[in-house]
Amino acid sequence: MTAVNKIFIVDAVNYLFRSYYAIGPMTNPKGESVSALFGFIRSIQKLIKDFSPQHFICVFDGPDNKQSRHAVYAEYKMHRKGAPEDLYPQFEWAENYCSIAGIPTLCIEGVEADDTMAAIALWAEKRRAEVFLCSSDKDLMQIVSDHVFMIHAHKNNILIDAKKVEEIYGVKPNQMLDLLSIMGDASDNIPGLPGFGPKTAAALLQEFGTLDAILEHPEKVKGEKKQQTIREHKQDALMSRKLATLDASVPIPLTEEFYRLKESNQTKLSALYHEMNFSSLLREMGEGDREKPMAHAYHLVDDEMALDALLRRLNEAQEIGIDTETTGTSPMLAALVGIGFCIHPHEAWYVPCNGRLGQEKVIKTLQPFFSTTQTSFFGHNLKYDLHILENHGIAVKKISFDTMLASYLLDPQSHRHNLDELSLEKLKKVKIPIETLIGKGKNQTSMWDAPIENVKEYCCEDIDCTAQLKKLFSENLKVKDLNPIFYDVELPLMPILAKMERTGIFLDVEKLNEIKGPITEELEKARVRVFQNAGEEFNLNSPKQLSQILYQKLKIKPTSKGKNEFSTAADVLEELSEEHAIAQEILNYRSLEKLRSTYIEALPENINPATGRIHCTFNQSMAATGRLSCQNPNLQNIPIRSKEGNAIRGCFRAEKEGWSFLGADYSQIELRLLAHFSKDKELLKAFQSGQDIHTHTASLIFNVPLKGVTPEMRNAAKTVNFGILYGQGSFGLSKQLRISTHEASRFIQTYFERYPQINEYLEHCKTLVRKTGISKTLMGRQRPIPEIHNKNPSIRSAAERLAVNTPLQGSQADLIKIAMIQIDEALTKQGFQGKMILQIHDELIFEVPDGQASELGGLVKEKMENVFQLDVPIEVHVAIGKNWAEC
C-alpha cells in the first residue's frame, strides 16, 4: 500500500445517528424519514470536498457485533436503547448511496465498526499512510498517533492529533484506553471505577502513568475513599479495559485498490435524490455539468420587423405563455426589462426593452395587442407578471393556467413550487442559475445590465419549462380530480388577489408615531423588570446569554431534558412563568419588542412612495390547508387581543375623507364545519338554535344549566372546542388551562361523552388518511399526508393532527375564497366604489364610501353566508369603522 498517501475511514453509523438528531424531521414523498440519510450524504460530500481523498471507506457495524464483548461482560451496552424505528431503513439507504457514489464500504458480521476502523487504520499506518478516522467516538482516540488522526465532522471537520487529544482529555493517546477504563462509559454500560470521572482519571494517569500502576499501588492515591474504591473495583477496571480495547485483528481486505474511491453512477444518484426528494443535492449535481439541452429554438426579437412577425403569430394562437424579466423582485416597484412568449414547448421568443427597440417602443406596441387579443395567457407565478405589465399600463384579460398554482394543488405539503425546483424535479432539467446573469451579494447587478443574449436564453428557458410543466400538470389535475378547485377557485382568485395587492391599504404614520412613545416606554419598563429579576443587565435578545441567566445564575430547573434542555423558546418560558416571574417578564418584553420592530419601525418602510399606501403580497401557494398567507409586510399577524396590537390596527384607516373600513368575519366557522362533518346531534342542535357554542359546551361538560355557566367555565370550554380542531391532547390542554394532565384528560373524556359523534368523526379522519394517504376538504382540495405511516411516533402523531385539522381549516379556506370571487364579481357588476383590500383567514376588510357602506355590508354578508349550504347556519358579523381596529 505504498501508493496510498492518505486514507479516510468513516464511522458511518456515528454519522447517521448524529445527523438523525441534528436535523429536523425530513420525509420523502412516501412519508418516510430521511433526515439521517440527508445529513450523512452532506457530511460525506463535505469530507470529500474539503480533503479530496483518493482512498476513502465507510464502515458500518456488522450484525451480532456485540458477541465478543458480551462474553467479557454480559451487561455490555444492555441498557442502550435501540435505534429509532425510522432510522433503521436509513442505514440500508446509506449503504446503497455509498455503492452508487463509488464509495467503498465494510460491514463485517460480528464486528463493531470501531474495531474494523482500528484494523484498517493500523494496517494502513504500517504502510506509512496518513490515516484519518472520521468519527466523534472517543474510543478511537486510543489509536491516534503521529500518522493516525481523527476528524470530527460535526465540529466542522476539526482535526484531532495527539496534541489535541491531550488538550481535550489531559492524557496522551496511549493513555486513552486506561482513561476509558477508569472513568467508564455510561453509553456503553462500561462500569470503570465508580465515582471516578474524566478529571480524576486524567489526574491519576498524569501522576501514575498507567492503570496498572494505579491498581498495584492504591495506597499511593490521595484519599482513603478512592483507595478503597480502587481495591474493591480492581476487576471492574480491568474488565472495562478489555471492553474498551479495540480489536484490530479482525479480517479486512488487504489491497490498496479496495479502498480507492470509484466513479459514481450519476444516473442512479439522480434517481436516489429524486426518490428521497433531495432537491438541493440534485441542483448541485447539475451545477458543474449542465445537461445538454433538448433541441429548441429561442428567438431574440429586437427590431420592428421581427416584433411585427411575432405579434402576427401570437394573434393566431389560442393560448400563450408569458414571462417577464424585471429590474427587481418587488411587484409594485420593478420595471419591465423584457418579456418572453411561448406557444408550444421548445420554442420561445424574447422581446427586450433595453435593446434596439427601446422600452417605450416595446410597451407602445404590446399595449394594443394585450388589450384587443382574444388569446388567453398562462405562466408561472403569473400574478407577479400581471403586476409588472400593469406597472406599464398593460392589462392581461384572460388567464388560462398558472403552473405554480397547479403544482401547489398537486403537492400542497411541499414548499418547492418555484420554477427551478419544478424543472429539476419534474423535467429533470437544471436551469440556468440567475446568479450567472446578475451575480449575488454585494456584486449583484440588475437584469437591465445583463447581456441581452444571455437574458434571452434565460427567459426563453423559463417560459419553455413553464409550457412543458403546463402540459404535465394539466393531465395530473384531471387525473386527480382537481380541475374544479383549480379552475373554479384558485385560478379565478389569483387576479382578485393581484387587484387587492395593487389597491393596498393606507397607514396613518402620524398616528403610528403617537403610539410609538407609549409602547417604547412599556418596552423599557419590561426590560428593567427583567434585569431586576436577573440581578444584572445582559443582552436580552441573545438566547445564549438568556439561557445562562435562567439556568446557570438563577438555577431554574429546565422543563425538559435532551438537546433543547436549556431552551428559551416561548412555549418553555410560558411553562416556567407559572413559578418564575422573570419568565413572564421576558415574554412581555418579547411581545412588545416584536410590535416595535416588526410593525412600529418597519411598517412605514413598506409604504410605496408612488401610491403612499402599503401593498402586501398574498401567497396562494404556501399553506398546505389552502389558507392564504401574507408578506412584505405580514398584516395577518398583527395581534388582536393586546391593547398595543389593537392600537397598531387603529393606524390603518380609510385614506379619503367620507370613506370607512368594513370588516366581515365568519363566526366560529371551523366549529360549524365540525358540526356539519360529524353530524353530532348536540353540536348541530346548539348551532341550529343559535346558542353560544362555548356556553353550551360548558353546560354539558360541567353539568350545569346554561345560566349557571361562569366566564371561567366558558373559557375552559372554548379552549377545548378549539383544541379539538387541532388534535390537542391532554398534555397540551393541561398547559393551556394550567390544570393537571389528569384533569385535562378527564375534561376531554367528558367532552367526547357529551359529543360522541365528534370523536367518531375525528377517528374516521385518521382512518381515512391511513387508508388513502389523503385528506380532503369540502370542495375536493387534497392534502397528501404520507407521514401517517411514519415509524417515528412524533411525526406520525403530527400527521394524525393534520388529518383532523385539514378538512376543517381547508374547507374554511375554500369557503372564503369562493366568497371573495363572488363578492368581487358583484362589486364590479353593481358598480360599487368600495374595494376588497385584505383577507385575514376568516375575515375580509373593505375600504368603502360611507354612503355605500350599509349596502355593501349587506351584499358581503349575503355572499359569505350563502357560499355553501351546511347542516348548520353560517354566520357572518359585519362591522363598519373609520379604522381597522373599529372593525
What are the sequence ranges of the domains in the chain? 1-162+250-280, 171-248, 290-480, 669-811
Q: Cell 492515591 appears where?
A: 221
Domain 290-480 and domain 669-811 have a common topology:
no
Q: Are the C-beta atoms of 431 and 424 separated by less than 8 Å?
A: yes
Class of domain 171-248: mainly alpha
Q: Are the C-beta atoms of 432 and 457 separated by less than 8 Å?
A: yes
Q: Nearest CA to 611 among 688, 537, 507, 515?
A: 507
Q: Are the C-beta atoms of 814 and 409 separated by less than 8 Å?
A: no
Q: Are the C-beta atoms of 321 and 466 separated by less than 8 Å?
A: yes
Q: Nearest CA to 308 among 357, 378, 371?
A: 357
What's the confidence (pLDDT) of residue 292?
A: 52
Query: At 748, phi and psi to the nearest 5?
Result: -65, -40
Q: Cell 446509506 appears where?
A: 94
CA–CA dist 494, 384 (Å, integer): 10
669-811 CATH fold: DNA polymerase; domain 1 (1.10.150)
Dihedral sign, CA of 746, 751, 753, 758? negative
What's the confidence (pLDDT) of residue 740?
A: 86
CATH code 2.30.110.10 for 1-162+250-280: no
What's the confidence (pLDDT) of residue 288?
A: 42
Q: Cell 484506553 appears where?
A: 177
Distances (CA, A) of 230 to 83, 183, 207: 35, 12, 15
CA–CA dist 157, 132 (Å, integer): 11
Q: What grid cell was written down for 225?
A: 475513599
Q: Order across the sheet with 835-839: list the strands.
A: 835-839, 843-849, 659-666, 876-881
CA–CA dist 841, 182 (Å, integer): 62
Could you tell me the mean pLDDT of each successive run of 10 residues in the chain, 887 residues long?
78 93 89 95 93 94 63 48 84 96 94 92 92 91 92 78 89 88 74 82 86 83 82 81 86 93 93 91 69 77 96 96 96 96 97 96 96 95 98 95 98 93 91 91 91 97 98 97 98 98 97 92 93 91 89 82 70 82 92 92 95 96 94 91 89 96 96 96 93 92 92 90 84 83 89 93 96 95 95 92 95 98 96 96 96 97 96 96 93
Burial of 794: CB neighbours in 10 Å, binned 0-12, 13-18, 19+: exposed
Distances (CA, A) of 84 to 43, 88, 318, 476: 21, 7, 56, 36
The dotted CATH code for 290-480 is 3.30.420.10
